[in-house]
Amino acid sequence: MHAFSHGTTSTPTAVAVPPSLQLPVIEAAFPRQLHPYWPQLQEKTRTWLLEKRLMPADKVEEYADGLCYTDLMAGYYLGAPDEVLQAIADYSAWFFVWDDRHDRDIVHGRTEAWRQLRFRLHAALDSPEDHLHHEDPLVAGFADSMVRLYSFLPGSWNTRFARHFHEVIEAYDREFHNRTEGVVPTVEEYLALRRLTFAHWIWTDLLEPCAGQELPDRVRKHPAYRRAALLSQEFAAWYNDLCSLPKEIAGDEVHNLGISLIKHEGLSLKQAVREVRRRVEECVDDFLVAENDALRFADSLVDGTVRGKELSHTVRACVGNMRNWFSTVYWFHHESGRYTVDSWDDRSTPPYVNNEAAGEK
């Protein structure tokens, strides 16, 4: 089946979605939208990757646009001011590069290099201004992203974001040791770890600067809001697992819901794919219910005050973008070069990464 992705070029192109990955409900009920700033976003993020030396120039030239990192963010954070969306898109591109560095450090056994990077990222998260000129481009690029992201909302939001990302760094460290030791987590262990390595609460936090307002805890932690947020992120993580299973099996990965089901539940590959897909579809159905609950919650915040009206508007904007996450994630997996494993010369080595086994510093 070919589905029209309606988005990232002036002329929509037909994207082949394999039958095992087709989700008709997404194509029918979650229309794709794209932030009008997207063309400039793509160009400026490409330039930022070069300026920050996060990817070699030849890799940026050949692969950056095809990886569709900016498409993913431009389809998610609608309504964001251009400056906010640019900061998020650059940070997202950095995140993918960091993920690739993590993978290559594991593949090449660079334990000390990973340990140093881990501690440097923790330090840069707490004091980004002090790391803008760090010798490691990954640390300097991260610091640049944090300075910009920290400029949009009050310090309380910055503190929360930092707390959430410290947890993400530590989760990546657990993944490092699981992979180097060949440990496949149980299904429940994996699901808990995945919420951190996929950075569920980071992407959810970033809904707020896009809407222009920090949400108070009583709103952000309300069950209706939190469940809709969690389901949107769970869908993305599990659909990613479904799409990346061939890539991760080829790369001797141990972190994939399908791999945990095969290892610990005794499922065959075919059965595991079917079970991950079932969970993905159930997630979509559950979100449609949770979305209505969250919108009713937004309506309940209107109490005759200006503050109540602002909070209601912000919640509605955030929930609307949670919905956008479904379509943008879905199409990203069929457009991005990150998942075209069958076209790679080496199925375990992405062509867009610098695969040199640099010595530990």
Looking at the annotation, which residues are catalytic? 95-96, 198, 338
DSSP assignments along 15-50, one per residue: EE--GGG--HHHHHHS-----TTHHHHHHHHHHHHH
- Distance between CA atoms of 144 and 142, rounded to whole angstroms? 5
What is residue 4's three-state secondary structure?
strand
- Distance between CA atoms of 258 and 265, rounded to whole angstroms? 10
Cβ neighbours of residue 7 closer than 8 Å, sequence gap 6 or more: 32, 33, 34, 71, 75, 331
Burial class (CB in 10 A: 0-12, 13-18, 19+), 275: middle
2 bridge partner residues: 16
- Distance between CA atoms of 260 and 254, rounded to whole angstroms? 8
Residue 81 CB neighbour total at 10 angstroms: 14
DSSP assignments along 117-164, one per residue: HHHHHHHHHH-GGGGTT-SSHHHHHHHHHHHHHTTSS-HHHHHHHHHH
Cβ neighbours of residue 47 closer than 8 Å, sequence gap 6 or more: none
**Phi-psi region at 182: left, alpha or beta (left = phi > 0; alpha = psi -120 to 50):** left
Q: How far is CA 204 from the centre of its chain?
A: 10
What is residue 16's three-state secondary structure?
strand
For the chain, state the CA radius of gyration.
Answer: 20
- Distance between CA atoms of 100 and 79, rounded to whole angstroms? 30
**Phi-psi region at 153: left, alpha or beta (left = phi > 0; alpha = psi -120 to 50):** beta
DSSP state of 67: H
